[in-house]
Structure 1
Amino acid sequence: MSRDHQYALDVVWTPTTQGGTADVRRFGRQHQVSADGVGVLEGSADPTFRGDVDRWNPEQLLVASLAQCHMLTYLWLAALDGIVVTSYVDHATGTMVESGGAGQFHEVTLHPVVEVAPGTDVGAAESLHARVGEYCFIARSVNFPVRHEVQTTIAAQTPPDSREAN
């Protein structure tokens, strides 16, 4: 069975200088991205392309989308497999190659640092990352590799509460 999912948002750019885009080097790249119920995301171009360093750029958002989708899918698969994840942090990176004024992503590498509950089979926990690509909607939609360099640790055993011992 096939289901369609629709996503709607607004991107609004307002000129910051007189004349709009009359000068390619001077027009403002600041804009806002919004969707019902989630507030406003302040956006701009990458600083390399005359953007504002204090705002999110589309390239960062693409890497963030892949990292979020991987994490959420991984957590879902872990829960299905009975693997208890106690912490998840990703230090994702992406490489875009620019040539002749155009660019495209060459790859994104996710660097998840995952902590699992004591007694967890670390190999089983790490093997789930390879399965994420079968389900992650965003990774399945891009035309470049999404790699993962995973680090998995076991959470510290917490001592039993002394009150429970009585």
Structure 2
Amino acid sequence: MARQHTYPVVVTWTGDKGTGTSGYRDYGRDHDLSADGPPPIAGSSDPAFRGDPSRWNPEQLVVGALSQCHMLSYLHKCAMAGVVVTAYADHATGTMTETRDGGHFTEVILRPTVTVRSPEMAEAALKLHADAHDACFVATSVNFPVRHEPTVQVAGQDA
């Protein structure tokens, strides 16, 4: 039998300016995302949709979740393959297209820069991104492409 996991979260709207949603411009898009354990995340809508740019928006969180999941899957794959990663940073970008009825992501590009301990590990480190993608629960759940443009560096060598 397959194991199932649940992830309860609470989203609490904090944008009532005293008149509720009496008009499109009369309410804030601010909200808090919380779950048992971690501190709340202050959220809003994208500034293009009247949101607060100092708060996380759902689109950023989707890109962030894909990047986090890929990194965690990747580090696991590297550890199992004997590839020693000493640093990892991803500059991910998501692209969303607006339509008359809303919008949708068209792609997310992950651009991880990985540092490995020795030159012999570089080729395997590069190839393991495909395995990590296949193992990432979030990437295998979305209906748009998640592409990877990884870079591998060797510790102590110039990039």
TM-score normalized by structure 2? 0.95
Give the Cα–Cα distance (whole angstroms) in 2 for the partners of residues 50 and 101 of structure 1: 17
Partner of 1:103: 103
Give the gaps of 5 or more residues in structure 1.
Answer: 158-166
CA drift of 1:28 comes to: 0.4
State TM-score, norm by structure 1: 0.91
Q: CA RMSD in A?
A: 1.2
CA contact (8 A) 1:10 1:35 kept: yes
Alignment correspondent of 1:92: 92
Give the distance between the partners of 2:122 and 2:153, measured in 1 at CA: 8
Pairwise CA distance, 1:99: 1.3
Q: Structure 1: how far apart are the matches of 2:119 and 2:13?
A: 52
The number of residue pairs the alignment matches comes to 157
- How far apart, CA to CA, are the structure 2 residues paired with 1:65 and 1:26? 31
Aligned to 1:37: 37
For structure 2, the 5+ residue unaligned runs are: none
State the AA in 2 paired with 1:107: E
Larger of the two Rg values belongs to structure: 1
Asked if residue 147 in structure 1 is aligned to residue 147 in structure 2, the reply is yes
- Percent identical pairs in the alignment equals 52
Whether the 8 Å contact between 1:46 and 1:53 is mirrored in structure 2 is yes
| Matched residue type, 1:28 | G
How many angstroms apart in 2 are the aligned matches of 1:120 and 1:57? Answer: 41
Provide, for residues 33-87 of structure 1, a one-character-per-residue CA deviation record: whole Å limited to 9, x for no partner: 1111101100000000000000000000000000000000000000000000000
